[in-house]
Structure formats: C-alpha cells, structure tokens
Structure 1
Amino acid sequence: MPIVSHKGKTMPESPIRKLVPFAEKAAKEGKHIYHLNIGQPDIKTPIEAMEAVRNHKLDVLAYSHSAGFESFRTKLAAYYAKHNIAVSSNDILVTTGGSEALIFTMGSITDPGDEIIVPEPFYANYYSFSTQSTIKVVPVISKIETGFALPSISEFEKLITKKTKAILICNPGNPTGYLYSKEEIKQLSQLAIKYDLFLISDEVYREFVYDKSEHYSILQEKGMEDHAIIVDSVSKRYSMCGARIGCLVSKNKSVIETAMKFAQARLSPPTFAQIASEAALEAPESYYTETIAKYKSRRDTLVEGLKKIPGVKVAMPKGAFYCIAELPVKDADHFAKWLLDKFDLDNQTVMLAPAAGFYSGPDKGKNQVRIAYVLNRRDLSKAIEILRIALEKYND
C-alpha cells in the first residue's frame, strides 16, 4: 500500500483545533461551550468592508495581479506611513493570509536544513510552516516568570550556526501577549546585522497594545532595510479572519522578487477578499480605539479572575489578545479534554488550548494553556468561574 510522506507524518496537529471533535461531541450533548481556545474576535467587521463587497460592480470575478491590487498596496503603504513605517507599494506583496506570507518568506530565504531561531513559546503554525519548508526551528526559551520577555542576546548568539538564516518574532506575541520594547527590537536588529541574518516580525496584532505602550516595528529601525521582513494580516485588525488576506513587507528587493515567484505560482490572492480588505482601511480611527478599549477591559477581567484561582500563575499580556496561564495540573492536554468530555457546570464548560503545542520540545508547557480573551466580559467572568470549579473537581 502506498504510504504518506515523512514530512506529512511529522506535520504537527494544531493545539488550537485538535480538540474540536471533543467540542463537537459536547455540543451534541447540549453543553454550552465558552471558547477560550481560538483567536476568533466577536468584534464586528468594519461596515466599510462589508458594504464594498455588497455594492461591487464586477461582471467577471477575475484574477488580480499576483502581488495584489495596486490600489490596495498603495493604501497599505499609506497605512504603514501612519505608523512611521516608510514603504512603497512595490515593497508589499499581498498574500492569502499572514500564513502564506510566512510560507513565502521561508521559501524565499531558506533551503532545506537551514535554521530559524524563534523565541518560545511561539505561534504553533511556525513549526508547521517550517516542517513544510523542511527547515529547523531552533527555540530560545522565554519564561512565564519574566512575563515571556525577550531572552538575553547572549542566548541567541549561542544558537547561531552556519545554517542560521533568520530570527522570527511575533510582536505583540501569540500566544503570550508579550510586547517587545523599542530597546529589545534594537538589540535584535543589531544582532541581525552583526551576523547577516534576516529578522522576520509577525506584526498582525500591531494595534492591540495596552497600558499606554507603543508598538515599535523592525522597519522603523535604520539600517534594517536589507534584513527586515514584516508579516501582516487583516484577520485580527479588522475582525476579518475569514477574508484570508495578509501581506509580506520588505525593502529588500531580492526578497520581494523571490517571493513574487511563489505568488505567481499560486496565481493571485482572492478578489472579493481584497475588495473588502482595501475598504477596511477606510474604517474610522474610532474603530481601533473602541476595539482596543474592549480588549483591554477583557484582559483585565481575565487576568484578575485567573489570579484569584488557587495555584494558577498568569503572565500579564501587554498586547494582542492572548495570555499563557500555568494551571495546577500535570497535563493540561488531559485536563482540556476532560473539561469537554467529562465535566460541566449547569450544562456549561470551557474550551482551552493546551500550551504544549506552542513549544517545540515534548516536555515543555505541559501544565500551561493559552487563553484567548475574545469573549465579552460577562462571558469571560462565567468562564473563569467554571474553570475555578473544574480545577477543584479535577484535583479532588
């Protein structure tokens, strides 16, 4: 019988989605599930985006340019200018989600067997994309005790080899919510220049920063023109996860030209989704401010509630809408399944994402979970209460 590839066998399961069968079974049993496992915002998509699709005047749903609509890329350049990132439309390649931007990046800058250093825990699909690209993720460990701050530069230097091609960060971070400081970005930039590496920054949560903090992009750093690659997306910024529109941004012409060949091979990004995404850029500033205020209040509700549960440790997120919590359990994966399969409180339960899937090693993050605070404050409070009682019963 024909067998599947080694690459296919080594592709990791999604820690976010692998519990879906348990959730589906629980739902069929009539349980109400509070979904804290996935970063699907409940914020409404900008009306400008929806109206643009409803009122389109297309007679033929045709291919777009492989790099995406020129009008969209021009407006994206103007958007970046507002964030003190000076790029032109020619520095931008529209992709089918931030995921494709990462895949194009890895395909453009690495060969099989090359290495990328990533602070851990990291967005689980970084490992999936590296497996597809037959390259190695080399983790540099950040810890909950420091709020998942950037490890020392000396820890990065210990890991650099002849095969190292890039450092990849998520800023603000998924799954930790950590926001890299301007000084930390400068340190990483200097390291990239010193060792002639690429510095890739996943900045899809750029707007979502709290406590009067400010986001600082790698493309704001002078001297990084040849080294910096930004991965971006409309998914979280405009609550448009289903649009699957992102972009790759770099002033390195060789990177853009190479990624363009990958873009041509997949023909073009989706037309209707580009129409919606371009229109979303016209959303008023109030859309951002109101959304950020909601997430900050949800973060505060979640963290304050978690801190009141005996044995739970949580790092205060500075951005995005995720946090990592350490639970008083040995195996968070088993606990998450138990919550769906064996437990309910008044026919209600909670779905979590076991954090082990956000680490590269098999024995790390075993008692941690990632929580997405995308529910309203009332539902978050209820979910926290269910989690508190569940932990008491689980540990009885």
Structure 2
Amino acid sequence: MAKIQPFAALRPKVDVASKVAARPYDVLSSDEAKAEASGNPHSFYHVSKSEIDLPAGTDIHSPEVYAKAAENLKALRENGTLIQENQPCYYIYKLIMHGRSQVGLVCVSSVDDYNNDIIKKHEFTRPEKEQDRINHITATRAQTGNVFLAYNDVPSINSIIDSWQEHHSPVYDFVAEDGITHTIWVMNEPGTVQEITKLFASEVPCTYIADGHHRAASAALVHNSLQSEASAWFLTTIFPASQLAILDYNRVVKDLNGHSKEEFLSALEYDFTIEAVGHSPKKPAMLHEFGMYLDKTWYHLVAREGTYTTDPIGVLDVTILQNNVLDKLLGIKDPRTDKRIDFVGGIRGLEALIKRVDSGEMQVAFALYPVTIQQLFDISDSGNVMPPKSTWFEPKLRDGLLTHVV
C-alpha cells in the first residue's frame, strides 16, 4: 500500500506567489527561462534554471550552475520571499486549463515505495539526466521539482479533498501568463491529515508515475548517499485517474527515406487504409487512427488488422506507427537518437505540424490519438515501458510554490 506523509513546505509569501511560480525546469530552454525571469528577482527560475544568472555559454551541468542554484535559494529564504511551514501539512493543488479542472494532493512519497515498485514506472531513465537532478538536490538540499503521480480513484479520499476546498480558503489563487489557474490550499488540521495518510495506506495499493521519472529516480539515489529522514521521502502531487487527461504526442520527420511521395503513399497502403481529406487538419478520433500531413495535404490513416498485437505495448498507436512506418518505411530504428525525427506535444496543436512541414524543415507529420490513462496503468502493471515520447500531460505543476527541504 502507498506510504505518503505531510511535510513542512518551503513556499512563497502570498503576495509574491505568482511571481515565484515557474514552469518545470525541463520544458523550456535557458534562453526562454531567462526571458521569462527578466526583471523578476522572485522568479524560481533563478533556482531551477540558475544558469540564467551566469555568463552566456556556461555549461548548464557545470558545478557553478548548481552552486548558483544553492546561493539563489538561500537568498530567497533570507530575504523572506520563501518561508517554511511551521508544521507538516498536506496541500491541495487545483489547476484549471481551458475550463477543465484537476485536483491533486501534494505530499511526500516514500523512496522505499519507489524502490519496491509500489510506485510504478513506465519509462526508462537516462543516467545523465538523473545526475543533473542529483547534483541539483545535493547542492540546494531541496527537491524543487514535483513528481506527478496518479492513482485509481478512492471515493473517501476524493470526498475529504472536496470538502476541504469547500470549507477553507486557498492560500494561493492566481492565473499564470499562459491562462492556467493555480489554486493551493493548506491542509493543516491534524485529524484530517492523519485520515488522509491512513486512507492511502489502506485503500491505495500503488501509485503510478505520470510525469517525472528522472526526478523520482534521482531522489531515490540522493537518499542512498544522504540517508536522512527527510531524504527518505520525495516531493509528489497525486491525482485521481478520473481527473487526468493525456494529450497527443505527435511526430515530424525530415524526409521520406528516398521514397517519392507516390511511392511512400503506395507503401503505406499495405498496413493502412488511406484517404486524402484536404487542407484542414485531421485529428484522430479514436485508437488506431492517424492523421498524416504531406505536401500540403492531410490524410486519414487507419491501421489494418494484423499490424498490431493486443499486448499492452503492441496495441499502442505509437508502437503501430513506429513499427509500420517510422522503422519499416522511413528507416528510423531508434526514435530517441535519430536526428531525422522530432516530437511535438499536443499542447501546440496540429497547426505546429503544418508549420514544421510547410517551412521545409520537415517533410511529413503524423498526428496520433492520445494514450489513455488506463493504457499507462496497464503498461506499468505489466512491468513494461512505453516507447519514448508517448505521453504529454497538461496542465503542468509550477515549480517554486511547494518545495521539499532535504
């Protein structure tokens, strides 16, 4: 069963929370972070992307960057921008995007659960990305990045969280520059805190990493060296599955691997039915449907029977596309390393695919139907991992609002 605990968060003063809040460190470049933090000394980018305060061209993995992050975090604490809670609490984090809301519980989860597969994974991690987070946590003695977890709904937990929102005022409530609303409540009543902890321990057999595999892995490795009580737990926000939406994660490819357009379309017909649908974007409406944009025309593709299996990995549309198009026809064996392919998150819309192709940068684009949360759970339960770039979650939690000090 899932072990979670309340924690005494390091968090902003109320009047500067919206200025502190920063997008996750790994969704934007150093230049983008520098632009967003310009003129804002409160921005958490000074901690999460501290290279913005160092000379241009500084290696983002150099010791100076991690030292600067620690220096900047210390300064934010000393000048009163960030304060530490005086008791362990749970926090309720509500996000609203395009009228749809999702509500998660911010807590710390057990490193032992991570190591013992009570916290289930669906993605391989890369050592160099783990080391980056290890260095950042070790230098700052803080987990600044949240691990996004999901679990199968438990009505009694949902009821407590709903009731707290109804009867208490939030500590933060603001709309970020991208239009997403961020609202946070502090759950500090001891009896309620204890009840939440007990319910997770008795009613939630496991949780699933939705986003943040590298943050979770690095937290576990840091604990191996620190061996402190605080480092035995890592920062998580846990959402009930019914509230989550996974967006599509689409593909663009530089060339047709030597095929003419006519040869490529003909070869596709072996594994797909194909229909040209004109100039308007074709968004897949169900599993095993694909949109393809080539030479200013959208095509509707449907995978034929026999092109996929029914096992948790084989049934995925990312697998169908990889096996029957990217590998078989376009010669892309490993999409993680091949420079001819790129990935476009669904948050950018299908217009982003059109732009990449019409510019001449890419020759063909593929729009996929999103992976479902149940498919993610099935793969995690089976012990398998998803193909790379399979899921895109939105909206994303903001860094700096709730930090776990280790």
What's the TM-score bracket when you normalise by the shorter of the two chains? under 0.3
Q: Which has the higher helix share?
A: 1
TM-score after normalising by structure 1: 0.27
TM-score after normalising by structure 2: 0.27
Of the two, which has the highest radius of gyration? 2
Q: Which has the higher strand share?
A: 2
